[in-house]
Amino acid sequence: MIMQLRQFFALGALAVGLTYCAPSTPPAPAAAPEEPTLKSAFAGHFTVGAALGAPQFTGQDTAAAQLVAREYNTITPENVLKWGEVNPERGVYNWEAPDAYVQFGEDHNMFIVGHTLVWHSQLAEYVKEIKDPELLRAALKEHIDAVAGRYQGRIDGWDVVNEALNEDGTLRKSVFSDVLGEDFLTDAFKMAEEAAGPETELYYNDYNMWNADKRNGAIRIINKIRENGGRVDGVGMQGHYSLSGPSIDTIEQSIRAFADAGLKVMITELDVTVLPNPWDLVGAEVSQNFEGSPFMNPYPEGLPDSVQTALAVRYEDLFRLFLKHSDDITRVTLWGVNDGHSWLNGWPIRGRTNYPLLFDRQNGKKLAYERVMALKK
């Protein structure tokens, strides 16, 4: 009997053990999907980037830096690599800011653009004084070797020559063209390839490239550079546009022409001014400046909804065009991080309040941003 009771209790315990389950841990909630960004939305089509000022990569403007890291996968420096900034005197180089810029790009796994090796503006004074061709060519090589050579393997693409043409496609007057003639273009690209290395892309960059005369002039000089042994991988079509012009069809014609010439196409320095400009304004020549007036600064307190909508439509149309030609366009770079950072607040009239970008002065997403992102939904 005792044995039977033991068996009974043992079987009971076994039954309890078989039916009892420890409380299960509730499954972890599914991670919320990451919010789309410009770089994720257009991945597989082209990189999307912004031009950075020193505060955005040296820790002074952390909010803008966070925006850049979140939204963009390519960067261009506004000023720190221009000749007058990085090499103000012969043999004198200011590396601190450029080093920080390149490090910022590497830290965030970005395509890093160098801007620019040869430009008539923001040029060191010592260069302007050189009249002897051999001395100027030596100074050109010394500068390119130092700057492009320092970042070999770190900067992914260089604007080698910037804005060398007039609106009619002829060569712009500058110390380089005056002393060296058109040969300075080939010299610059050959020197850049040697200093930057064979893996670094080399570009010609200019504004108003939608203008047929200027476009044809760019193709002409690029073909000549190539015929003389220089390497030009792509062209930067600066996108300093307005709400009304140039037309989408006009921009498209140049995209096709440059692609047909065997060039990678980049939309660079993209912004859309919402303000009136002086009647005699020409392109994006930085030396121009005009007196201000209330008529020329109509939105000091904020942008009316109607203009905000017009800006959004303009950006939507532009990015729709870029997507249409994404087989040829490799990069789209906006010229600035947010509206407050844009150069258009001070050009061509100082002290104006412009709204030309996708993010407002508080780094908030504008309607233009939403309309651009909607193209990929």
Q: Number of helices (H) and strands (E) in the chain: give both, helices first.
A: 14, 8
Query: Which of 282, 256, 327, 337 is closest to 62 using CA atoms?
Result: 337
Predicted local distance difference test score (pLDDT) of residue 31: 55
Domains of the chain listed by start with CATH number: 36-72+266-276+293-377 (3.20.20.80), 75-232 (3.20.20.80)
Query: Dmax over Cα atoms in the chain, in whole Å?
Result: 121
* b/e sequence 53-87, b meaning 16+ C-beta within 10 Å: bbebbbeebeebbebbbebbbbbbbbbbbbbbbbb
Average pLDDT over residues 172-191: 98
Predicted local distance difference test score (pLDDT) of residue 334: 98
Candidate list 78, 163, 201, 269, residue with the active-site label: 269
User: What distance in Å separates the CA atoms of residue 161 and residue 83, rounded to the nearest whole number?
Assistant: 12
User: What distance in Å separates the CA atoms of residue 235 and residue 222, rounded to the nearest whole number?
Assistant: 9
Predicted local distance difference test score (pLDDT) of residue 279: 58
* Predicted confidence (pLDDT) at residue 359 exceeds the cutoff of 80: yes
pLDDT digits (tens, 9 = 90+) for 246-269: 999 999 999 999 999 999 999 999
Contact 358, 372 (CB under 8 A): yes
Query: Which stretch of 61-70, 275-284, 302-311 has the lowest confidence by average pLDDT?
Result: 275-284
Q: Tell me the HSE value of 246 on the side-chain side, using a 13 A CA sphere.
A: 20
pTM of the model: 0.89
Top pLDDT among 185 and 31 is at 185
Average pLDDT over residues 131-150: 98
Predicted local distance difference test score (pLDDT) of residue 8: 36
User: Is 34 assigned a catalytic role?
Assistant: no
* Predicted confidence (pLDDT) at residue 2 exceeds the cutoff of 50: no
Query: Which stretch of 25-39, 132-146, 239-253 has the lowest confidence by average pLDDT?
Result: 25-39
